[in-house]
A and B are shown apart, each in its own frame.
Chain A
Amino acid sequence: DGGITQSPKYLFRKEGQNVTLSCEQNLNHDAMYWYRQDPGQGLRLIYYSQIVNDFQKGDIAEGYSVSREKKESFPLTVTSAQKNPTAFYLCASSMGEGGGYTFGSGTRLTVV
């Protein structure tokens, strides 16, 4: 079955460490996205990519970095510059301008 796989489901890291969240899709979608969700809140866009080797900042990109070397993969690195990294991170993909989004099951990151 086609879908989006995020790993790991839960992640614990010490303050000051960088951490990379994985997102892989086999839907042949061109566009991929990273969102952050805080408790009781909606989703906020961190980064998005419409094609391989290209990506744009979203609303809250500071302290995060991404790469898009393959169509299927869009990893997100949470750097030590991110002031409050503890959150639920969701990856999504879509065919492009139109069409629906498909979301992964998310990664809960806790920084201690």
Chain B
Amino acid sequence: GIQVEQSPPDLILQEGANSTLRCNFSDSVNNLQWFHQNPWGQLINLFYIPSGTKQNGRLSATTVATERYSLLYISSSQTTDSGVYFCAVKGGGNKLTFGTGTQLKVEL
């Protein structure tokens, strides 16, 4: 099946800093999503982005499908951005495969 690797595994930022999270995947995909899991476990869908670039406020994402990677940009980070960020992809089948996540902590 498709392998999904995320980097870095852990990240600590000062409030106001910018960051880039990366997701590499091993095969062609027709579905790629970024999720944020808050400290209570709730998974929030940030972007559905199998290709191209999207922006939503301080967050943006870019997927280069031909090179099999996606990037999530967080600008002017806030403490509420803390949590785990997951990339998940779907290839030819019906299974959405998750990476192991990036644990982000934003400090004052």
Contact = CB atoms under 8 A, between A and B. Distances in A.
A48 B94 CA distance: 9
A103 B42 contact: yes
B48 A43 contact: no
B30 interface: yes
Interface of A: 31, 33, 35, 37, 41-45, 48, 50, 56, 58-59, 88, 90, 92, 97-103, 105-106, 108
A42 B41 contact: no
Q: How big is chain B's contact interface, by range?
A: 20 to 34
Q: What DSSP secondary structure best describes chain A's contact surface? A: strand
Given A41-B100, A98-B30, A99-B48, 18 more contacts: A31-B94, A33-B96, A35-B98, A42-B86, A42-B98, A43-B86, A43-B98, A59-B95, A90-B43, A92-B43, A97-B94, A99-B31, A100-B48, A101-B33, A101-B96, A103-B35, A105-B40, A105-B42
B59 to A, nearest CB: 15
Interface of B: 30-31, 33, 35, 40-45, 48, 86, 88, 94-101
Contacts of B86: 42-43
Contact of A42 (B40, B94, B101): B101
A35 B96 CA distance: 10
B41 A88 contact: yes
B42 A97 contact: no
